[in-house]
Amino acid sequence: MITGGAGFIGSHLVEYWVKHYPQDRVVVLDKLTYAGNPTNLATCQGIGNWTLVQGDICDAELVRSLFDKHQLDGVLHLAAESHVDRSIANPMEFVQTNVVGTVTLLNASLEAWGEKADSNRYRFYHVSTDEVYGSLGPEGLFHESTPYDPRSPYSASKAASDHFVRAYHHTYGLPVVLSNCSNNYGPRQYPEKLIPVVVRALAEGRPIPVYGAGLNVRDWLYVGDHVRAMEVIFHSGRSGETYNVGGNNEQNNLDLVRTLCRVYDALHGRPAGSGEAQISFVTDRKGHDLRYAIDATRIREELGWTPLMYFEQGLEETVRFYSQEPS
């Protein structure tokens, strides 16, 4: 079962999985809220080894019934409320989905597989975020052993869910793996996120909003590279372990926006500098973390994964996608 499979990252994972593992039967569970859309799975139409179920991961009866009906032996759990600004406005929604929903899935897995389940047969994979580690200064990287220091309601809810997953492994022997990834980008991301916001503003001739001075730094990971990482972690990661997944690509927000402007102008035959003229600095987000950066040594050395997408190539593909999408 892939939860959140009609969302941005989830739909790319479903698309990859059903095409590369035709022997697997895949249940896609998604609430189909504002960020989940069945059209994200259009490329999977005509492939017969998956089914979409509209439902809430907090619905314990539904989740149990899916385990029973489909005899699930693996869960890739991506369903989550994920936008920091929304978490500031409505923290309880994030507690409900990200914490209660995760525990509901853990309980169903434990009930179906039993205590001390065979890790060669069963696996619960929890996909999380680097934001649980807090904020870095100008130097340093997040390691798997970095202490948690969440700074927003979103990251606090993800940190809590991470702890529950580890607790079920240590308490009940549930076979789990976890990953904490950096900022994803690519086609099909909901337009509240930075890159689609910028492209839509460029297309519509509106000001491009940049928080504060634009100096907040993120490590950008192409969604296709993340999908390959999830594949190898699910199949080969050590039970009970966490793997950090990063793109080796730190950018401050202002530099990222300027690059997007150059790519957009070149693709659309606009004079150089046209996009940058639309940049507008706005009041910074509350509690805005300064810098995130991932050390992905463990997944590289243990599992042989490394990001492959060149940043500007990934941005060009992304800009092309959003340029063709209706607003």
User: What amino acid positions are annotated as catalytic residues?
Assistant: 130-131, 154
Alpha helices in the chain, H assignment, sequence order: 8-20, 60-70, 84-89, 91-94, 101-113, 153-172, 194-204, 223-236, 253-267, 297-303, 311-324
State how far the Cα of 271 lies from the Cα of 262, in Å rounded to an integer.
9
Task: List C-alpha distances in Å: 313 to 48, 190, 254, 263.
Answer: 32, 20, 19, 10
End-to-end CA separation in angstroms for the chain: 31
AA letter at 38:
P
Which strands, in side-by-side order, build the sheet including 183-185? 183-185, 217-222, 250-252
210 bridge partner residues: 281
C-alpha 3/C-alpha 14 separation (Å) is 10
Determine the 3-state secondary structure of 30 from DSSP: strand
Distance CA 203, CA 198 (A): 9
- Tell me which residue of 182, 198, 214 sits closest to 318, measured CA to CA: 198
Got the DSSP string for 97-134?
IIIIHHHHHHHHHHHHH-TT--TTT-EEEEEEEGGGG-
Tokens of 83: 């936008």
What six digits make up the tokens of 244?
A: 């950090």
Cβ atoms 197, 209 nearer than 8 A = yes
> How many angstroms separate the CA atoms of 249 and 263, rounded?
17
Q: Take residue 70 and report the two structure tokens written for it.
A: 């489909």
